[in-house]
Structure 1
């Protein structure tokens, strides 16, 4: 099969069809709101990819979505349903941010220390759910979901009552020192930035991306490459992939499920904590703000991205960029046309609903077909014997009425 034929089959698959249907339904909502759908989607595309600042905002917003999506995919691929990345990333952001703000020392030491602290705290919070399942049989799906709430409220309490800066109008901590921030790829006030502006223009994609996206994008690229290598070339990647497909087969092969769950949750929670703290200390953010990570809703958007991409790292990158573009483009559409940016949430939900319907419907039809074919026809009685058995079964001998004893002889 040629590459063009494979691409054509993919276009007819559930993902592209679901996206197109979601955009069509979103166009209906725009018509109801009194907005031309063509103008709305043109503003969305121009606001997300059609300009330098729009592309920069899309990439910056996609980084935590893709990163946390990779963390979720590592767990889901192993059959471990980790729904606690919000809490793991939030506590990692809190711990790493505290280190970056309040621990004295040179930036070359503080920044790596903050990142390592976030990874350790996120992994530890994920391990709680793994230990609960291994020792007490508590399902990880339930424990990780519930552990989001103490993580969320503990972070809010710490920032509000222990770290709050009285001089700020926000419920937030002190400001980060500029040298401990994850700065932009090219500092905006540097000579190189001035050269880029004079050469390419202040709003060109090259200038906007290099001066508007911080170094967390480099970390994300390295993480994606490392996860692809781990899935394809390491023993853990092989075992986790088989465990997600058939846990009993892996158990019979000698792999202990308990340690595998521990490793998976530690890795997933650690990556969530890493991208949580990079969102906190990465420019242009300068403070720990109460409820900031929860309000962004990055963790649950990352879950949708992971489901859409079927746990594949490259697919998560593409889906994360798509969802980030919808979010950024919806903001631009709201500014230009006065339409509510909540249309982005509507389109995202429609994509997932339609994708689930498209994926489930063929399985339902096949199962329904098997059930119907197994039932006997309504107009024929059930047959107990096969034709071969009936052909080899001798017929019963005829009964002679004269041979039967009379009533008097009995």
Structure 2
């Protein structure tokens, strides 16, 4: 009974209600466009989860969203507003891609070297903002946002004028060697893939996922599990989570804030660079393409996912799959019903706007009445790590400081 009550309270909480309202408003837009909303949403579900190919596309689309979402959550959870994952991931993809494409050598050496290079490039770009805050007091919120632009335009210039392959119709580099690529979980031309197609069928979800999703999903699973472990079982996880909740408390604990900001931005930027690279060398992608990462809009979708999930890794996985399903399903809906796939962007924006409105309105009314601000209730905590759980719409502090656990243990 207690579990049922908790589930009921969660269903009446801000997140489910905001999602439902967003879908209802999205249905109104479909009606205006002359499309039956029920048929539209059925096509969306079938296109994202109802077929093997749709499920594989949803999982593949969710990998960079969830991965970059974890990178953002590492920073936001510590009260560091890292809005620069687009630039960090872009430079990571560029640096790691250069290694993967142009450095000769066996794949067993080149692939790890490309990963290390991508992580280092993303981390260094993130560390610039941490140094600017620690030494000059420049807010990370501003510096990370602004540094997206030089990263974007430098990558574009380098690919267009230095790396462009004349034989390609795209403004892009040479192709990644097949042995350096992250292949599908089961290569499509392998004997095992042929056996799966003969026994289960080519459209079976198992066959489609194994032959349509590359090994980046395994790396993502490792990163998510690592984030959960760090949040719950390490000193850094304890300090960063507490810093995001109460900067003044950790300030008086005697721990210096500067090193925490440096570590946080290095980890956040490094993770962004890692998942940026996997967009370049993960099959079926084969080239560095000018503007590719910016056009995908993965970084900003990941930001919405992170806010919706309250910076929790498990929540980010769920929200990332939800947003990826909307994106893939809207493409399918566009093919079947002739509706613009931009409906996905509308629904995503509505979810965040309605969530912020639903959270802020009771607080505004309570403040006007002169009472204390109510805490969010009815939302079970699937990941009880310290974080800004009191208010999912609250903005973390700009200059976090850590707190030391007396015994070094962490939640």
The alignment status of 1:109 with 2:122, answered yes or no, reads: no
Q: Which 10-residue stretch deviates more, 294-303 or 1-10?
A: 1-10
Unaligned stretches of 5+ residues in structure 1: 373-410
**Take 2:289 and 2:182, find their aligned partners in 1: how far apart are those partners?**
17
**Take 1:227 and 1:72, find their aligned partners in 2: how far apart are those partners?**
12
**Take 2:166 and 2:29, find their aligned partners in 1: how far apart are those partners?**
44
The alignment status of 1:183 with 2:187, answered yes or no, reads: no
Alignment of 1:47-66 (within 5 A): 47-66=47-66
**Take 1:20 and 1:196, find their aligned partners in 2: how far apart are those partners?**
38
Give how far 1:365 is off: 1.6
**Take 1:265 and 1:69, find their aligned partners in 2: how far apart are those partners?**
14
* Deviations 1:198-239, CA, capped at 9 Å, x for gaps: 111001100000000000000000000001000000000000
**Deviation above 4 Å: which 4+ runs of structure 1?**
none
The alignment status of 1:326 with 2:326, answered yes or no, reads: yes
Tell me the residue number matched to 1:220.
Answer: 220
Tell me the residue number matched to 1:73.
Answer: 73
* Deviations 1:140-164, CA, capped at 9 Å, x for gaps: 0000000000000000000001100
Tell me the residue number matched to 1:129.
Answer: 129
TM-score normalised to structure 1 length: 0.90
Alignment of 1:173-322 (within 5 A): 173-322=173-322
Q: Secondary structure at the match of 1:73?
A: helix
Alignment of 1:387-398 (within 5 A): none
Give how far 1:2 is off: 1.6
Give how far 1:371 is off: 6.8
**Take 2:271 and 2:243, find their aligned partners in 1: how far apart are those partners?**
20
Tell me the residue number matched to 1:391.
Answer: none
Tell me the residue number matched to 2:157.
Answer: 157
Alignment of 1:374-393 (within 5 A): none
Q: Secondary structure at the match of 2:306?
A: helix
* Deviations 1:327-360, CA, capped at 9 Å, x for gaps: 0000000000000000000000000000001111
Tell me the residue number matched to 1:357.
Answer: 357
Q: Secondary structure at the match of 1:196?
A: helix
Q: Which 10-residue stretch deviates more, 356-365 or 33-42?
A: 356-365
Give how far 1:172 is off: 0.2
* Deviations 1:43-79, CA, capped at 9 Å, x for gaps: 0000000000000000000000000000000000000
| Number of equivalent positions | 372
Flag the structure with larger Rg.
Answer: 1
Q: Tell me how large the CA RMSD over aligned residues is.
A: 0.9
Give how far 1:362 is off: 1.5
Tell me the residue number matched to 2:366.
Answer: 366
**Take 1:371 and 1:108, find their aligned partners in 2: how far apart are those partners?**
62
TM-score normalised to structure 2 length: 0.90
Tell me the residue number matched to 2:45.
Answer: 45
**Take 1:185 and 1:273, find their aligned partners in 2: how far apart are those partners?**
22
Measured at CA, do residues 251 and 332 of structure 1 come closer, stay the same or move farther in structure 2, by a change above 3 Å? same
**Take 1:51 and 1:178, find their aligned partners in 2: how far apart are those partners?**
28
Tell me the residue number matched to 1:375.
Answer: none
Give how far 1:247 is off: 1.1
Tell me the residue number matched to 2:343.
Answer: 343
Tell me the residue number matched to 2:93.
Answer: 93
Tell me the residue number matched to 1:397.
Answer: none
Unaligned stretches of 5+ residues in structure 2: 373-411
Q: Secondary structure at the match of 2:193?
A: helix
**Take 1:208 and 1:98, find their aligned partners in 2: how far apart are those partners?**
31
Q: Secondary structure at the match of 2:30?
A: helix
